[in-house]
Amino acid sequence: MEYRRVGYSIMSRFIVKKIKQTVITIFILSLGVFMISHLAPGDPLVSVYGDGVERLSSEARMNVIKNLGLDKPLIYQYAIWIKNALKGDLGYSYKYKMPVKDVIKIHFFNTFCLMGFSILFILLLSVSLGLITALNEGKLLDRIITRFSTLLYCIPGFWISLILILVFCTNLKIFPSSGVYDIGKEDDILNRLYHLILPLTVIVIGHLGYYSNFVRNKILEELKEDYIILARAKGLSKFEIILKHPLKKVMPSIIILMSLSLSHLIAGGFVVEYIFSYSGIGKLVFESAKYHDYPLLMGTVILTGIIVVLGSLISDILSSLIDPRLKEKGMD
């Protein structure tokens, strides 16, 4: 009983320490993004007035800058922003003329669907391919799948996107090349899924090879362990052995790996969103950076940063649960 209490105490301190590190990381991220975005060349008034900004008089321009609070020192602007952000107020989007949190709310669901389905398919397909290649180690099927998946992983996502658009949208006209749904069909689930197919395919193709090879190698490593010899002595087939032992041990590892690779997955997803004009958080990030919509850029980047950091936090906690030694190291 005493041992359990000590274990819970160590775990609690480990989680508290990781949460503190997460808060500090998000603070540094917000400060860095705020300073860099404001110091970058460009005119934020373009996002407010578009081409009409050139017709503004000097006096009108100064009044707008004053109303937006852009005339104050940067550190003062950041202090105001962080104060309001802690209250849930992320500011007002220059481009969309509405609160940032409302803009994000509209687009977040689209990104959530795209990334959620991507992670699900990557997980299912990588485990399946890893299992198939491990069962056929050294055979022709193993070599074909392994080399082809490695080749696909090396091809840039934007190039795959352009090829798919050219083939399936321009030439064959099977799939739409942009948008989340057809006009007037925002409530049609099938239409939304139809628009998801190509962006989803690009993300899955770009990551499937890496994860499937990881699963394959992990399974083959486990097959070399001593307990496998005992399982074979019992007359179990290779397929039965893999399902009952190595695959169960591999699953936590791949989930941890995907948590650690969340930043890579999201970055790839954002590029795909922009190429396919898919109205998600990724498209907002590019637009807000392009038009210097500071409040929207801060909101989208901080949201993305929180998701990535939380993914890393979950990965650390899962890792410590699987291997308690990591928990003790994390307390040093």
Residue 331 clears pLDDT 70, i.e. is over it: no
The dihedral over CA atoms of 138, 143, 145, 147, expressed in degrees to the nearest 10, equals 140
One domain, residues 188 and 314 = yes
Mean pLDDT value across the chain: 81
Q: Which residue has the higher pLDDT, 196 or 318?
A: 196
pLDDT per residue over 75-129, tens digit each?
888 888 888 888 888 888 888 888 999 999 989 999 999 999 998 999 889 888 8
Number of domains in the chain: 2
Domain for residue 92, yes or no?
no
> DSSP letter string over 31-76?
HHHHHHHHHSSS-THHHHHGGGGGG--HHHHHHHHHHTTTTS-HHH
95 in a structural domain: no
The pLDDT tens digits of the residues spanning 277-322 come to 898 898 888 888 888 888 898 889 888 888 888 877 777 777 666 5
Length of the chain: 332
Range of the structural domain that residue 299 is part of: 101-323
Whether residue 330 is predicted with pLDDT greater than 50 in this model: the reply is: no
Question: With 90 as the cut, is the pLDDT of residue 200 above it?
Answer: yes
CA distance 44 to 28: 23
Please check the confidence at residue 332 and state whether its pLDDT lies above 60: no
What is the per-residue pLDDT for 3? 44
* Nearest alpha carbon to residue 99 among 283, 307, 270, 298: 298
Structural tokens at position 295: 């409040």
Q: Show which of 86, 113, 133 is a domain's final residue.
A: 86
CATH of the domain at 285: 1.10.3720.10
Same domain, 121 and 71: no
| pTM beyond 0.75 | yes
Looking at the predicted structure, is the pLDDT value of residue 149 above 60? yes
pLDDT at position 206 over 80: yes
pLDDT band at 18 (very low <50, low <70, confident <90, very high): confident
Q: Which residue has the tokens 């959530």?
A: 112
The residue among 210, 229, 221 whose CA lies nearest residue 249 is 221
Distance separating alpha carbons of residues 185 and 191, to the nearest angstrom: 7
pLDDT at 326: 46
Cα-based distances in Å from 83 to 3, 78, 80, 103, 309 = 43, 8, 5, 20, 21
Residues 315 and 272 grouped into a single domain: yes
Shared domain for 242 and 194, answered yes or no, is yes
pLDDT of residue 313: 76
Q: What is the 8-class DSSP label of residue 173?
A: -
**In a domain? residue 164:** yes
Structural domain contains residue 6: yes
- Position with higher pLDDT, 45 vs 122: 122
Quote the CA–CA distance of 186 and 203 in Å, as a whole number: 23
What pLDDT shows up at residue 196? 92
